[in-house]
Amino acid sequence: MNGVLVIDKPAGLTSHDVVNRVRRILGQKSVGHLGTLDPSATGVLPVVTGGLTRLAQFYLHSEKSYEGTIHFGFATDTYDADGEATTPQQKVELDLEELRMRAAEFRGNIQQVPPPFSAKKIAGVRAYKLARRKQEVALQPVEVEIKEFAILGVEGNNCNFRARVASGTYMRSVAHDLGQKLGCGAHLKLLRRTAVAEFGIEDAHTLEDLQEATQKGSVGDVAVHPRKLLPQFPCVTANDESAAMIRSGRAVNLPELSRERLVKVFYGQRQLIAIATRIAGTLFHPGMVFVDSGS
């Protein structure tokens, strides 16, 4: 199978665990994912299979959306509910308007220090490996962009939020830093990813859904329609002659797309056969060809 599946990742599994399960369900080795999700988090995890794993390069900087809950009163070493407390527990009385005012300070381009338990590297070693050994983790701040961070409501020591962020942003760090601003400590209690790039929670299916579809021979029903992929690139449908040239790696004329740099080339409605790059005028070279693509 060559395709894209949006898995609704359950809590407790790493993104790599999900990829391994998809490999077993589909019975194929070539499977990858588009954007790591923490083990405790749930929600949208796009999984690419077969030849379409090569599309991953187009999703390295994808925007992501989240919903979640921040717990105030103490911080943890992982910045989430799986970690050990690093500050004494405090009694807090949350004020919704104050929280919203503080949340506004995080919007835009900000400097953020990644969590100690993260995949960031320090002298070539993953930070979480150093943290597990109780070694010092001195991560440098990086610039991230938070496009939306809305406090939706307060329940006891918790606040619910919605966020939309650029790639590389850690919501765990947002929770931790918000707790520091309020002087009471905080950590990310729950996190659910609702979108990655064009893939939303409405497109997501559980691993059990995928297993059932595979047994019924209807995996295509749970896969993302190929025409929905990479909506920033226009589509063109090749005829038999052009499709044959593209599959053999030869350049073709696509006069209706003379102003585009990259285009998706389909054969029929569902078969994505190439991503082509304009090389001159109306001449496009199929730089990325998907043999026997589609689902």
Active-site amino acid positions: 38
3 state SS of 39: coil
The pair of three-digit structure tokens given for residue 154, joined into one six-digit string: 């307060």
Burial of 134 (0-12, 13-18, 19+ CB in 10 A): exposed
Cβ atoms of 252 and 282 within 8 Å: the answer is no
Residues in contact with 208: Cβ distance below 8 Å, sequence separation at least 6, in sequence order: none
Helices (H) and strands (E) in the chain, counts: 6, 16
DSSP-derived letter for residue 123 is T
Residues in contact with 288: Cβ distance below 8 Å, sequence separation at least 6, in sequence order: 54, 274, 275
Distances (CA, A) of 264 to 139, 178, 198, 204: 40, 43, 16, 23
Count Cβ atoms below 10 Å from residue 132 Cβ, excluding itself. 11
